[in-house]
Amino acid sequence: MKDASPATAPKTFYLKDYTPFGYDAESVHLTFRLAPETTRVISRIRFAPKPDAADRTFFLHGEELKLISAKIDGQAVTPELVEGGLKCEVPGAPFTWEAEVEINPAGNTALEGLYMSNRMYCTQCEAEGFRKITYYPDRPDVMSTFTVRIEGDEPVMLSNGNPMGQGEGWAEWHDPWPKPAYLFALVAGDLVNHPGSFTTKSGREVELNIWVRPGDEHKCAFGMEALKKSMKWDEDVYGLEYDLDLFNIVAVDDFNMGAMENKGLNIFNSSCVLASPETSTDANFERIEAIIAHEYFHNWTGNRITCRDWFQLCLKEGLTVFRDAQFTADMRSEPVKRIEDVIALRARQFPEDNGPLAHPPRPEQFQEINNFYTATVYEKGAEVIGMLKRLVGDENYYKALKLYFERHDGQACTIEDWLKVFEDATGRGLSQFKLWYSQAGTPRLKVSEDYADGTYTLTFEQSTPPTPGQPDKAPRVIPVAVGLLSPNGDEVRGTEVLELTEAKQSFTYQGLASKPVPSILREFSAPVILERETSNAERAFLLAHDTDPFNRWEAGNALAKEVRVAMVLDGAAPDAAYLDALEKLVRDDDQDPAFRALVLTPPSQSDIAQTLFDRGHTPDPQKIYDAAETFTQTLAQQLETSLPRLYAATTVDGPYAPDAEGAGKRALNGRILSLLTRLDGGEQAARQYQAADNMTQQYAALGALLKAENGEAQSQAFFKQWQDDRLVMDKWFALQIACAAPEKTAATAAALTRHPLFSMKNPNRFRAVFGALAGHHAGFHHASGEGYQLLADNLIALDKLNPQTTARMCAAFQTWKRYDAGRQSLIRAQLTRIAGTDGLSRDTTEMVTRILDA
Ligand code: BES
Ligand code: ZN
């Protein structure tokens, strides 16, 4: 008889159950004898019992390891192999543990632990991958110094820290900084380096390298400059210096995430470090600069000060995302970066926070930690730090950070430690603020206003809808940055931060000559949903006059949303006043092109769907799509006479450079081209495609042509030109799906999975196809259900190879409760089918169960 419960019931881990490991790991020696299918790992670890330990169980994590031998103080022992690791009787005094295990890197398609990518050995240990390399207390609060010997015939063999020596067939490395095992890294293969160097503020010469496969050397220069800028910026802004003589970055093609901050040996998805004008878009350049900064910044916020346990993940990720955003704002444009981040927050974090996967930035339970590298932990985690900074002020913020680095260097910390530092540095209590870390859900902020006799009152009411496991929410501290404008457009009150602490609260302004127009939540000062009854005329006024660039964009964005919603619900024509406002802005050459491009970028169709749902309607994806098409077509017609001039005026002359200014101009130029294509059917786009000497323009032209269903020839030419470049091919796969009409989206994606260059084993390629499918709102949610079925088929297939990437992509289904009964039942059927698959991974099981339980 078949057992009703799964073979291994998934275990849930709880924050409240934290207990320290009973032993210190004083030093770790590892020897790797590399062989693709039979790598031997020999570990020698000095353990010392902790005098005050409550629990002395000697349990070492280990998965998919073949134990060859184990010794304690040189004597063979026979550990008890248990689920997820081993247990062993050990002495009550310090001892040396030795083990030899065999692993199979070539057979490792999950890309966790030691695996092979393009004949190159590499590792990914965060969060719990080290246990696939050897038996070890694989938890971030166990920190030790690592010495590593690599034996093999690979030309280049790297690990963390400093090189200790090398010879024919071997290399030795030593990392003097104690670290958790998740920061361990090893890379070996046929690699070439792009060298560089940096002198730290105290005069330390640091050797820098970007290691790549032969043939990719010409794509390293930009990343190297980004690295140097990051090192300098962290010294200038945070006073933080690099702490080794060597910093290596390696590019690998098969990688589940974007990049990883291993001590002194960062490993990058090649898509996040390799760049050249011919093969990378402006967006790629910006992302690469940010991610190199992000991983570098982890050296202090993550490595020197790490997390006590994985529940504290936002301690390092939220803070490091916050830091990389500051960096990008400084390198490029502060308002543009803020607008981009808010667009991303609304696209990724809000759906998560308002659906079945909602969890607080510091979750209290998980089954598979890989499922908690989420928009909430990262982006909301960063927003929480932004709020903290706003509440305590810049000076206090840097004072607190200084204290954090002094007090906690070398430690594995918690959110409590983090907040205590702020309390001690500023004298301010943060117990209510802490709710941001423990409560899930996006607060709604209702605003009403009152004006009489020169006194203006703003009243705020906050509430947060229930989320899984959290039916009731307490009021939080919400910093609301507000400015007031007079009806003639002058600012009558500069930005002031109102601190909300209660469910309902009013603030008054005295001595105003007339009723002002409020500009609320400037710079998006808190990750909340603002609910305010206001007119489109007022939004248009703010779009024209607000002194806060974020809120100017926001006013335009809100206006765009209202217009779309009206079009969808009432079949209304696009609002003429809004079209006029847009036209005025687009033609205003005094305005920053990047800003104009952002205002011209329509709100996402998924965002419109959520807005409709929030207002009690059932969104129809096809209608939302049609409204978007009609709107854009009408805008193109309205701008008809100015488009050729605008196109010419925004065309960047001279050689391509990936700076913010050029990128802003090209972004606007790309928007103009897509409008132009609606009128000329693709004449200008075909010319641009022909002439383009950089990927930004080539890609924009191809996208416009494919959207107009007039790009077959260019698509084939593109394929021919770039078929040997994996990263450009990812773009080719994705773009065809993104530009397909809704009724053809799933079929286009399905056809591409049969293309010889499609691969289930390369996460970038899989994501190119299925990320584009899931990101095509009307295509994915087409009433036929083909999109759902195709994604489910492929998730089921991928789960056998790569659970981590499969599980992350299940999130495409998280918004299913927004839609009509027909679509809901189609999605439920697919989720149920995935959930019922034999041998489904723990990762994917957890995700589909949570989504289904909604
Ligand atoms: N530590 C992570 C990488 C990671 C995440 C490893 C999950 C293992 C599991 C790294 O610092 C990171 O956050 N990378 C981001 C990019 C970053 C710019 C937000 C990523 O890989 O997407
Ligand atoms: Zn990170």
Question: Which pLDDT score, from 0 to 100, does residue 613 have?
Answer: 97
The crossing angle, in degrees rounded to 10, of helices 621-638 and 660-680 is 90
Helix axes 660-680, 282-297, angle to 10 degrees: 140
CA–CA gap between residue 51 and residue 786 (Å, rounded): 61
* Cβ pair 261, 299 in contact under 8 A: yes
SS3 336: helix
User: Which atom of ligand 1 lies at the shortest distance from residue 258's CA?
Assistant: 21
347 vs 603: CA distance, rounded Å: 10
Contacts 24+ apart (CB under 8 A), 642-648: 642/583, 642/586, 642/587, 643/672, 643/675, 643/676, 643/679, 644/676, 646/586, 646/587, 646/672, 647/672, 647/673, 647/676, 647/684
Q: What does the pLDDT read at residue 10?
A: 83
Cα(340) to ligand 1 centroid in Å equals 19
pLDDT digits (tens, 9 = 90+) for 505-553: 999 999 999 999 999 999 999 999 999 999 999 999 999 999 999 999 9
SS3 183: helix
Which residue's alpha carbon is at the smallest distance from atom 13 of ligand 1? 317
Distance between CA atoms of residues 188 and 116, nearest Å: 9
Mutate to test the pocket of ligand 1, among 373, 808, 843 (most ligand atoms within 8 A of CB): 373
Q: Is the pLDDT of residue 450 over 70?
A: yes
CA gap 95, 92 in Å, rounded: 8
Please tell me the residue having the least CA distance from ligand 1 atom 7: 373
**Ligand 1 nearest-atom number relative to CA 291:** 18
Question: What's the confidence (pLDDT) of residue 5?
Answer: 44
Ligand 1 centre from 194 Cα, in Å? 23
Can you tell me the distance from the alpha carbon of 268 to that of 256, in angstroms, rounded to the nearest whole number? 10
E strands along 411-543, which residues? 412-413, 444-452, 455-463, 478-485, 491-500, 504-509, 517-520, 529-532
Contact between residue 126 and residue 160 where contact means Cβ atoms under 8 Å apart: no
Which ligand approaches the C-alpha of residue 127 most closely? Answer: 1
Residue among 164, 235, 170, 165 nearest 198 (CA): 235
CB atoms near residue 346 (< 10 Å)? 21
Chain centroid, CA 137 distance in Å: 28
- Which atom of ligand 1 lies closest to the CA of 804? 9
Closest CA to 32 of 87, 113, 145: 113
Tell me whether residue 532 is exposed, middle or buried, using C-beta atoms within 10 angstroms of its C-beta: 0 to 12, 13 to 18, 19 or more.
middle
- Helix (H) / strand (E) element for 779: namely helix 777-780
| 756 contact partners, CB below 8 Å, separation of at least 6 | none
Give the mean pLDDT of 604-621. Answer: 97
> In angstroms, what is the span from residue 373 Cα to ligand 1's centroid?
8
Q: How far is the CA of 237 from the centre of ligand 2 (A)?
A: 19
Pocket of ligand 1 (CB under 6 A): 126-127, 257-261, 290-291, 294-295, 298, 317, 321, 373, 378
Integer Cα distance of 99 and 840 in angstroms: 31
- Calculate what percentage of the chain has a pLDDT beyond 90: 98
Q: Which residue is listed with tokens 């075909």?
A: 686
- 538, burial (CB in 10 Å: exposed 0-12, middle 13-18, buried 19+): middle
* Alpha-helical runs (H) found in 639-711: 643-649, 660-680, 683-691, 695-707
- The atom of ligand 1 lying closest to the CA of 321 is 19
User: How remote is the CA of residue 613 from the centroid of ligand 1, in Å?
Assistant: 32
How open is the CA angle 103-104-105, to the nearest 5 degrees?
A: 110
User: Is residue 810 over pLDDT 50?
Assistant: yes
**Residue 141 in tokens:** 């609060």
What is the pLDDT confidence band of residue 443, given thresholds at 50, 70 and 90? very high
Ligand 1 pocket test target in 138, 295, 349 with most atoms within 8 Å of CB: 295
Of all protein residues, the one whose alpha carbon is nearest to atom 18 of ligand 1 is 291
Looking at this protein, which amino acid is placed at residue 475?
A: P
Ligand nearest to the CA of 266: 1
Please tell me the number of the ligand nearest to residue 763's CA.
Answer: 1
Q: How far apart are CA 828 and CA 808, in angstroms?
A: 18
Percent of the chain with pLDDT over 70: 99
The alpha carbon of 263 and the centre of ligand 2 are apart by a number of angstroms equal to 13
Q: How far apart are alpha carbons 538 and 504 in whole angstroms?
A: 24
In angstroms, the CA 123 to CA 267 distance is 8
pLDDT in tens, 665-676: 999 999 999 999
* The ligand 1 atom nearest the CA atom of 298: 11
Ligand 1 pocket mutation pick from 257, 269, 380 by most atoms within 8 angstroms of CB: 257
Q: Which of 525, 438, 341 is nearest to 350 (CA)?
A: 341
The tokens for 840 are 């489904």
Ligand number with the minimum distance to the CA of 125? 1
Atom 4, ligand 1: which residue's CA is nearest?
260
Q: What is the pLDDT of residues 689-707, one digit of tens each?
A: 999 999 999 999 999 999 9
The ligand 1 atom nearest the CA atom of 269: 21
Q: Are 262 and 183 in contact (CB under 8 A)?
A: yes
Give the three-state DSSP class for 484. Answer: strand
Q: Whose CA is nearest to atom 20 of ligand 1?
A: 258
Cα–Cα distance measured from residue 47 to residue 24, given in angstroms and rounded to the nearest whole number = 6
Closest protein CA for atom 8 of ligand 1: 126
Q: DSSP for 60-123, please give it.
A: EE--S-EEEEEEETTEE--PEEETTEEE----SS-EEEEEEEEE-GGG--S--EEEEETTEEEE
How buried is residue 651: exposed, middle or buried, by Cβ count under 10 Å (0-12/13-18/19+)?
Answer: middle
**Nearest ligand, measured from the Cα of 259:** 1
The total of other beta-carbon atoms located within 10 Å of residue 218's CB is 13
Average pLDDT along the chain: 97
pLDDT at 4 over 60: no
Q: If you measure from the C-alpha of residue 219 to the centroid of ligand 1, how many angstroms do you get, rounded to a whole number? A: 22
φ, ψ of residue 214 to 5 degrees: the values are: -55, 135
CA 73, 75, 77: angle at the middle one, nearest 5? 110
Task: Please name the residue whose Cα sits nearest to atom 3 of ligand 1.
Answer: 260
Q: Are 146 and 291 in contact (CB under 8 A)?
A: no
Tokens of 226: 């980004």
Atom of ligand 1 nearest to the CA of 317: 13
Separation between Cα atoms, residue 396 and residue 801, nearest integer Å: 48
**Ligand in nearest proximity to the CA of 374:** 1
pLDDT at 854: 78
For range 280-287, the mean pLDDT: 98
| Residue 766 CB-half CA count within 13 A | 28
**Mean pLDDT, range 799-812, rounded to an integer:** 98
Token pair 């949570």 is found at 850
The whole-angstrom separation of Cα 216 and Cα 194 is 10
Predicted confidence band of residue 1 (pLDDT cuts 50, 70, 90): very low
Q: Pick the atom of ligand 1 nearest to 126's CA.
A: 8
Amino acid 196: pLDDT: 99
Name the band, by pLDDT with cuts 50, 70 and 90, for residue 8.
Answer: low
* pLDDT tens digits, one per residue of 344-401: 999 999 999 999 999 999 999 999 999 999 999 999 999 999 999 999 999 999 999 9
State the closest ligand 1 atom to the C-alpha of 287, by its place in the atom list counted from 1: 18
Residue whose CA is closest, atom 17 of ligand 1?
Answer: 291
Residue 294 CA to ligand 2 centre (angstroms): 6
- 29 alpha carbon – ligand 1 mean position (Å): 27
Is residue 295 part of the annotated active site? The answer reads yes
21-74, pLDDT tens digit by residue? 999 999 999 999 999 999 999 999 999 999 999 999 999 999 999 999 999 999
**Which segments within 364-404 are labelled E, that is strand?**
365-366
**Per-residue pLDDT at 727 exceeds 50:** yes
Cα(383) to centroid(ligand 2), Å: 15
CB atoms within 10 A of CB 578: 20
The pLDDT score that the predictor gives to residue 3 is 41
CA atoms 225, 284, 680, 563: torsion sign: negative
Q: Which of 124, 260, 316, 372 to mutate to test the pocket of ligand 1 (most atoms within 8 A of CB)?
A: 260
> Residue with the nearest Cα to atom 2 of ligand 1?
260
Q: Which residue do the tokens 């799964």 mark?
A: 6
User: What is the model's pLDDT at position 422?
Assistant: 99
Residue 23 has a pLDDT of 98
Give the integer Cα–Cα distance in Å for 604 and 599.
Answer: 13
The distance in angstroms from the start CA to the end CA of the chain is 31
Nearest CA owner, ligand 1 atom 21? 258
What is the average per-residue pLDDT within 639-660?
A: 95
Q: Give the pairing type, strands 444-452 and 529-532.
A: parallel
Whether pLDDT at 448 is above 90: yes
pLDDT of residue 6: 47
Strand (E) or helix (H) holding 173: strand 170-179
Looking at 289, 295, 379, 383, which residue is catalytic?
A: 295
Q: What are the tokens at 38? A: 């039979």
Q: What percent of the residues of the chain are helix, what percent strand, and what percent coil, each to the nearest 5?
A: 45, 20, 35
Largest CA distance in the chain: 89
Indicate the burial class of 630 (C-beta count within 10 angstroms; 0-12, 13-18, 19 or more): middle
Residues 799/837, Cβ–Cβ less than 8 Å: yes
- Listed residue (502, 375, 388) closest to 445, CA to CA: 502
As a whole number of angstroms, the distance between CA 111 and CA 762 comes to 10
Q: What's the pLDDT tens digit per position in 454-512?
A: 999 999 999 999 999 999 999 999 999 999 999 999 999 999 999 999 999 999 999 99
The CA 291 to ligand 1 mean position distance, Å, reads 9
Distance 261 CA to ligand 2 centre (A): 7
Q: Write the residue with the smallest CA distance to atom 1 of ligand 1.
A: 260
- CA nearest to 346, candidates 607, 625, 608: 607
**Ligand having the closest approach to the CA of 310:** 1
**Could you report the per-residue pLDDT of 553-566, keeping only the tens digit for each?**
999 999 999 999 99
Which residue has a Cα nearest atom 6 of ligand 1? 126
